[in-house]
Structure 1
Amino acid sequence: MKAMVCTQYGSPDVLMLKEVDAPVPKENEVLVKIYASTVTAGDIRVRTFNSPLLLWLPMRIVLGLRKPRKPVLGVELAGEIMTVGPKVTRFKKGDQIFALTGMNFGGHAEYTCLPEGALMAIKPSNVSYEEAASVLFGATTALYFLRKGHIQKGQKVLIYGASGAVGTYAVQLAKYFGTEVTGVCSTANLEMVKSLGADKVIDYMEEDFTNRGDYYDIIFDAVGKISKSSCKKALTPNGSYVTVDGQGIAKVRVEDLDYLGELMEKREIRSVIDRFYLLKELAEAHRYVEKGHKKGNVVIKITS
């Protein structure tokens, strides 16, 4: 099978399309033919080995000393189950699924094996593989941190970084939960964020939201670029500040994927896809994501 292999740490040029052996599922695994994946910030961090100095050695031990131990990156995927192991009962051959692989990666290949208990769920029939693949990381992260902030109907919620992979879902989920949503983004993305349901939008390039005299029950920094201290004067007395930077990694359950699948099926949330690339164009996709200006998600079409 074809796979894009990260041959060492470095620039996008280290990504090479290779012919590798197709995986064989164990008795508790399923073999998935991958139709779509994405490029996330996590893929960029691993490929570049972007690690603080104090964590350099521990991270190298975890990820691989000279090159990634899991050389096929890609943490989100959607595809079709081709084979099931004899002990698998949750899925069957022909099921269309979407899955979040986390540190096991593997999305940038034509096939992968996943254990039955993986973060994997049935893809809604009215949602494309590309849409399903791009909902996983962003929406589960948004859901986790909004819940961490104890989101409730009637609150006022501000999403900082509302046009990114996490922010686009945070806007939609916050609106679905019945809150008044303010999205903060750049000039170019104001209309797109409005189209996702934001009641108000603020251009961070023109205005500091903390100086408007408005107060929020939740401020969610979806890009990790503002501090709690800078937000204090815009929070209500019992308001919550949550951020993707420094408050841990989102804890995701299979139930969360089922829940998001239902919302996608009902069109309560939708994927925002900036660009599509073919598997052989993965290095180019990395270069684009690395610039930090993508709107929503960048999707990799694995199998047409």
Structure 2
Amino acid sequence: MKAATTRGFGPRARLMIKDVNKPKIGADDVLVEVHASSVNPKDWKLNYNISSLVPKVGSLSNFHIIGDDLAGVIVERGSNVSNFKVGDKVYGMDMRLRTAACGEYACIATKRIAHMPKNISFNEAAAVPLAALTALQAFQMGPVSDGSKVLVIGASGGVGTFAIQIAKAMGAEVTGVCSGKNIELVTSLGADKVIDYTQGDFKAENNNFDLVFDATAYESLTTCASLMAEDGLFVTTSGHGKALFNAYRPHLFMGSKSARPVWVESYTSDLEILTDFIESGAVTPVIDSVHQLANIEDAYTRNKTGRSRGKVVIQIV
């Protein structure tokens, strides 16, 4: 089968399409004919770099296949699988270390997938798992319900576009932060208010948000404390640097304000929540651009700019 992998070793490694062996499945897995995947910052910040440092030999050969998100059709199932059948359309991901989704076929455990929403395409479904699960699991940490006040920083990006819609679906009053050119998009997604970060330092203003969700991974509890209610929660997508440090250090001068990083996982139950949101019309994937597998380098380049509006999708079939 054809798959995207790395060529070369270390800093000079590049993406390429090559023929590799079709993956073998275990008793609790399914083999998916992948129709689409999508690009997340994790792909080029972590997966690509690790892949380029590991020798491409023997059993490690499929380790180098890129991609987390997948949407496709089951073509084979393991002996223990009863909740999915051959021919089912599914979507999901596996974060250990990646799904190896940017290939014509991928092996994935059934606890990491769900049946695809009936009202969206494979390209749209592939845009959902990592980004939408990140937003959903961030809001499951905090007081997001009817009347909650939520701020989403990075509201026009891959995670942010889902975050606006999911918070609204959960009943929150939502404010999005983005550049002026994306205000119309973020408003169309349901944001009650939109802040243009190019027009001043919004973090210096006093506010009372119950939850501040930083989808950019640039901010911290310290920089956003004035925006938060006295018992507010700051949630970041960052797993490193100052944001992570501020999530765990004693908040001696922050009162009862707190911070937590979101470590996204793929579970069928959470994917099914997203399916309900999508099928009800409460959440719609926003796609920035679609790239063929042969042009995966262009997809990565677009995502690296940090300027994509929604998700960058890779079409496999």
Task: Identify whether the pair has TM-score above 0.5, normalized to the shorter chain.
Answer: yes
Counterpart of 1:104 in 2: which secondary structure?
A: coil
Q: Which moved more, 1:150-159 or 1:131-140?
A: 150-159
Partner of 1:278: 292
CA deviation digits over 1:145-165, x for unaligned, max 9?
Answer: 112122121121111111111
Partner of 1:57: none
1:43-122 paired onto structure 2 within 5 Å: 43-46=43-46, 49=49, 65-66=54-55, 69=60, 70-102=63-95, 103-117=97-111, 119-122=112-115
Say if 1:289 and 1:10 are closer, same or farther in 2 by CA, change over 3 A. farther
Partner of 2:283: 269
Q: Which amino acid aligns with 1:200?
A: K
Aligned-residue offset at 1:36: 0.5
Partner of 2:153: 160
Counterpart of 1:4 in 2: which secondary structure?
A: strand
Q: Distance in 2 between matches of 1:187 and 1:10?
A: 36
Q: Which amino acid aligns with 2:6?
A: C
Q: Are 2:54 and 1:38 equivalent residues in the alignment?
A: no
Q: Distance in 2 between matches of 1:237 and 1:168?
A: 27
CA deviation digits over 1:194-233, x for unaligned, max 9?
Answer: 0100011111111222344432111111111112112112
Q: CA RMSD in A?
A: 2.0
Q: Distance in 2 between matches of 1:67 and 1:83?
A: 27
Partner of 2:230: 237
Q: Which amino acid aligns with 1:256?
A: D
Counterpart of 1:298 in 2: which secondary structure?
A: strand
Q: Which moved more, 1:2-11 or 1:291-300?
A: 2-11
Counterpart of 2:33 in 1: which secondary structure?
A: strand
Q: Distance in 1 between matches of 2:265 and 2:21?
A: 32
Partner of 1:299: 313
Q: Which amino acid aligns with 2:99?
A: F
Q: Distance in 2 between matches of 1:37 and 1:98?
A: 10
Aligned-residue offset at 1:66: 4.5
Aligned-residue offset at 1:23: 2.3
Partner of 2:247: none
Aligned-residue offset at 1:292: 1.4
Counterpart of 2:118 in 1: which secondary structure?
A: coil
Preserved CA contact (<8 Å) 1:9 1:48: no
Q: Distance in 1 between matches of 2:228 and 2:109?
A: 43
Q: Distance in 1 between matches of 2:84 and 2:166?
A: 28
Counterpart of 1:166 in 2: which secondary structure?
A: helix
Say if 1:22 and 1:252 are closer, same or farther in 2 by CA, change over 3 A. closer
Preserved CA contact (<8 Å) 1:97 1:123: yes
The TM-score with structure 1 as length reference comes to 0.89
Partner of 1:219: 212
**Out of 108, 125, 132, which is 2:118 matched to?**
125
Say if 1:155 and 1:115 are closer, same or farther in 2 by CA, change over 3 A. closer
Counterpart of 2:174 in 1: which secondary structure?
A: strand
Partner of 2:15: 15
Aligned-residue offset at 1:115: 2.6
**Structure 2: unaligned runs, 5 residues or longer:** 239-243, 245-260
Q: Which moved more, 1:280-289 or 1:24-33?
A: 24-33
Say if 1:88 and 1:184 are closer, same or farther in 2 by CA, change over 3 A. same
Q: Distance in 1 between matches of 2:233 and 2:77?
A: 44
**Out of 168, 177, 189, which is 1:184 matched to?**
177
Aligned-residue offset at 1:275: 0.5
Q: Distance in 2 between matches of 1:92 and 1:47?
A: 30
CA deviation digits over 1:21-50, x for unaligned, max 9?
Answer: 22233333221100000111111113553x
Identity between Structure 1 and Structure 2 (%): 36
**Structure 1: unaligned runs, 5 residues or longer:** 50-59
Q: Distance in 1 between matches of 2:91 and 2:235?
A: 27
Preserved CA contact (<8 Å) 2:154 2:178: yes
